[in-house]
């Protein structure tokens, strides 16, 4: 495919990195010279340093031969206008715009493909939904959910007292008091992503991606000392877009919600908008606040400010003061690693939420969901198998998977199968795979229909 991307910020750069890693032809347009230079040095694609909302620049980028146009700059208006220019002057099959303003993204005009926009992605909405889903599952760890199945992926950090430490993967199931099957789908170690084999040993400070049913996952976390708690009293730090959306989702569940923001005018708006919530105009870094407002008695803290460092420190400090669970908004992969080691239960990345949503749309058809792991260095992809698929009837032992790729499960008639080599693919199956970035294109070619 050929993809033209307007905007080389963290979202545009990560999408470009993933797509070029799969062998696609990507051109980025970025008006900021420093950002353009940085991306050109780190991503193997053409970078044009110019304004992207004019025809001449779009032609230089090869828009006339593009399959997709993505506009993901910080301005909603620029994203929409750029899609409008592409729609009016060129024949690009799919145009995607990142639109953060809720008034825009909710508008009826998008239902009629306003300005030729085929798909609108709102980072804040996607992030808030993920946080709400995580809270519903107890906020014990990061979570990835799939369609029509209770299989999920959760993260687990190995500390020095964990029974996972120094254990070989092929011996784990016999050592754990759990009869149901589960897999260690991936490991982050020393800032590297590993697709493990049965001979792989788990080491202290490893971050594991565990794949299992919700029921089995609960048992695993109980065995590892991370029991599920009732989350009735929730503290939300930050009253920005994501914080407000999170409160809107959670307040419907009947939980007691308290919102803290340091800006007085923001607190006035929050008080008017959420009459059932307690709004505090305060600085979360003030130690006295915990004693004055009895914050240590809360079950969960969710930090959603615009500053990653504040989110991490506030969440970690809250855990040390007695709050049972903590969710922090974090974007950088290395910060996610640090957060886990500081005892923060869940890290949610607006960037990853946006990238996952866009990548799923780009790869629609046989692909039902996509999850980007560890800053795009690996992906979990959910494929559906159609009636005339080339793999129908073939046993897994006769299918050559790309390097650094494994099949996590096959879902058949609502039943999850962690398959062995004699398992045969059939029409209607759903196959979930995990691959390092270098193998994603090959796994896509293998499991998508001809």
Q: Do residues 439 and 377 both lie within one domain?
A: yes
Q: Do residues 358 and 347 both lie within one domain?
A: no
Looking at the chain, the whole-number percentage of residues with pLDDT higher than 90 is 39
Amino acid 364: pLDDT: 59
Residue 165 resides in a domain: no
Q: Do residues 36 and 117 both lie within one domain?
A: yes
Domain boundary among 63, 95, 121: 121
Q: What integer is the mean pLDDT of 302-318?
A: 94
40 lies in which domain range? Answer: 2-121
Q: What integer is the mean pLDDT of 49-67?
A: 92
Amino acid 36: pLDDT: 94
Residue 450 confidence class, pLDDT cut points 50, 70, 90: low
Q: Do residues 332 and 399 both lie within one domain?
A: no
Residue 316 resides in a domain: yes
Residue 172 resides in a domain: no
Q: Do residues 14 and 95 both lie within one domain?
A: yes
Residue 224 resides in a domain: no
Residue 148 resides in a domain: no
Q: CATH code at 421?
A: 3.30.70.1450
pTM for the model: 0.76
Amino acid 61: pLDDT: 94
Bridge partners, residue 301, by sequence: 235, 326
Residue 360 confidence class, pLDDT cut points 50, 70, 90: confident
Residue 337 confidence class, pLDDT cut points 50, 70, 90: confident
Q: Do residues 282 and 392 both lie within one domain?
A: no
Q: Do residues 282 and 312 both lie within one domain?
A: yes
Q: Do residues 23 and 12 both lie within one domain?
A: yes
Q: Is 345 a residue whose pLDDT tops 70? A: yes
Residue 63: name the closest of 88, 96, 91 by CA.
91
Q: Is 107 a residue whose pLDDT tops 60? A: no
Q: Do residues 10 and 115 both lie within one domain?
A: yes
Domain boundary among 351, 386, 403: 351
Q: What integer is the mean pLDDT of 106-130?
A: 76
SS3 readout for the chain: CEEEEECCCHHHHHHHHHHHHCCCEEEEECCCHHHHHHHHHHCCCEEECCCCCCHHHHHHCCHHHCCEEEECCCCHHHHHHHHHHHHHHCCCCEEEEECCCHHHHCCHHHHHCHHHCCEEECHHHHHHHHHHHHHHCCCCCCEEECCCCCEEEEEEECCCCCCCCCCEHHHHHHHCCCCCCCEEEEEEECCEEECCCCCCECCCCCEEEEEEEHHHHHHHHHHCCCCCCCCCEEEEECCCHHHHHHHHHHHCCCCEEEEEECCHHHHHHHHHHCCCCEEEECCCCCHHHHHHCCHHHCCEEEECCCCHHHHHHHHHHHHHCCCCEEEEECCCHHHHHHHHHCCCCEEECHHHHHHHHHHHHHCCCCEEEEEEECCCCEEEEEEECCCCCCCCCCEHHHCCCCCCEEEEEEEECCEEECCCCCCECCCCCEEEEEEEHHHHHHHHHHHCCC
Q: Do residues 282 and 307 both lie within one domain?
A: yes
List CB contacts of 425: < 8 A, sequence separation 6 or more.
385, 389, 391, 392, 393, 394, 396, 399, 410, 431
Q: Is 109 a residue whose pLDDT tops 60? A: no
CA distances to 33, 181, 425 from 417, rounded to whole Å, are 51, 9, 11
Residue 15 resides in a domain: yes
- The interaxial angle of helices 123-136 and 350-362, nearest 10 deg, is 110
Cα end-to-end distance, the chain, whole Å? 15
Domain boundary among 121, 151, 171: 121
Q: Based on the structure, what is the number of domains in the chain?
A: 3
Q: Which of 79-83, 177-181, 198-202 has the lowest mean pLDDT?
A: 177-181
Residue 265 resides in a domain: yes
Amino acid 302: pLDDT: 97
Q: What does pLDDT average to over the chain?
A: 87
Residue 164 resides in a domain: no
Q: 182-186, 281-285, 413-417 — which one is most confidently predicted on average?
A: 281-285
Looking at the chain, the whole-number percentage of residues with pLDDT higher than 70 is 94
SS3 readout for 118-143: CEEECHHHHHHHHHHHHHHCCCCCCE
Q: CATH code at 302?
A: 3.40.50.720
Give the model confidence (pLDDT) of 119-169 as tens digits: 888 888 889 988 998 898 888 888 888 776 788 888 888 888 787 888 888
Beta carbons of 282 and 276 less than 8 angstroms apart: no
Residue 310 confidence class, pLDDT cut points 50, 70, 90: very high
Q: Do residues 233 and 244 both lie within one domain?
A: yes
Amino acid 255: pLDDT: 92
Q: Do residues 263 and 292 both lie within one domain?
A: yes
Give the model confidence (pLDDT) of 390-420 as tens digits: 888 889 899 888 888 989 889 888 888 888 8
The residue with greater pLDDT, 97 or 220, is 97
Q: What integer is the mean pLDDT of 318-342?
A: 87
Amino acid 183: pLDDT: 86
């Amino acid at each position: 495919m050929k993809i033209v991307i307007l905007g080389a910020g963290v979202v545009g750069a990560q999408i470009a990195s993933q797509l070029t890693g799969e062998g696609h032809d990507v051109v980025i347009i970025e008006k900021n010279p420093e950002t353009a230079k940085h991306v050109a040095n780190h991503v193997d694609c053409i970078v044009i340093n110019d304004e992207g909302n004019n025809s001449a620049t779009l032609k230089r980028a090869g828009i006339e031969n593009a399959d997709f146009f993505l506009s993901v700059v910080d301005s909603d208006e620029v994203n929409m206008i750029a899609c409008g220019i592409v729609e009016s002057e060129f024949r690009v099959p799919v145009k995607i715009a990142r639109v953060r303003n809720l008034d825009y993204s909710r508008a009826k005009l998008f239902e009629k493909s306003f300005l030729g926009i085929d798909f609108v992605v709102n980072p804040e909405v996607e992030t808030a939904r993920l946080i709400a889903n995580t809270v519903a599952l107890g906020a014990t760890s990061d979570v990835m959910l799939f369609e029509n199945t209770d299989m999920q992926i959760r993260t687990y950090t190995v500390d020095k007292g964990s029974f996972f430490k120094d254990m070989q993967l092929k011996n784990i199931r016999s050592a754990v008091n759990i009869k149901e099957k589960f897999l260690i789908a991936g490991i982050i170690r020393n800032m590297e992503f590993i697709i493990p084999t049965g001979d792989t040993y788990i080491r202290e400070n490893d971050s594991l991606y565990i794949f299992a049913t919700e029921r089995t996952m609960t048992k695993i976390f109980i065995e590892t000392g991370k029991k599920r708690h009732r989350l009735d009293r929730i503290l939300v730090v930050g009253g920005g877009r994501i914080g407000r959306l999170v409160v809107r989702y959670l307040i419907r569940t009947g939980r007691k919600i308290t919102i803290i923001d340091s800006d007085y005018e923001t607190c006035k708006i929050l008080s008017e908008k959420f009459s059932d919530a307690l709004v505090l105009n305060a600085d979360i870094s003030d130690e006295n606040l915990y004693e004055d407002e009895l914050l240590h008695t809360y079950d969960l803290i969710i930090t959603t400010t615009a500053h990653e460092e504040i989110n991490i420190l506030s969440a970690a400090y809250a855990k040390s003061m007695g709050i049972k669970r903590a969710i922090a908004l974090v974007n950088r992969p290395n910060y996610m690693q640090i957060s886990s080691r500081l005892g923060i239960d869940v890290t949610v990345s607006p960037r990853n939420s946006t990238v996952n949503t866009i990548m799923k749309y780009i790869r629609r058809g046989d692909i039902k969901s996509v999850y980007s792991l560890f800053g795009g260095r690996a992906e979990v992809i959910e494929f559906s198998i159609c009636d005339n698929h080339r793999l129908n009837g073939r046993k897994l032992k006769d299918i050559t998977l790309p390097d650094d790729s494994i099949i996590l499960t096959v879902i058949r008639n609502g039943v999850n199968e962690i398959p062995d080599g004699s398992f045969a693919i059939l029409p209607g199956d759903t196959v979930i795979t995990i691959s390092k970035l270098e193998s994603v294109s090959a796994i896509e070619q293998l499991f998508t229909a001809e």
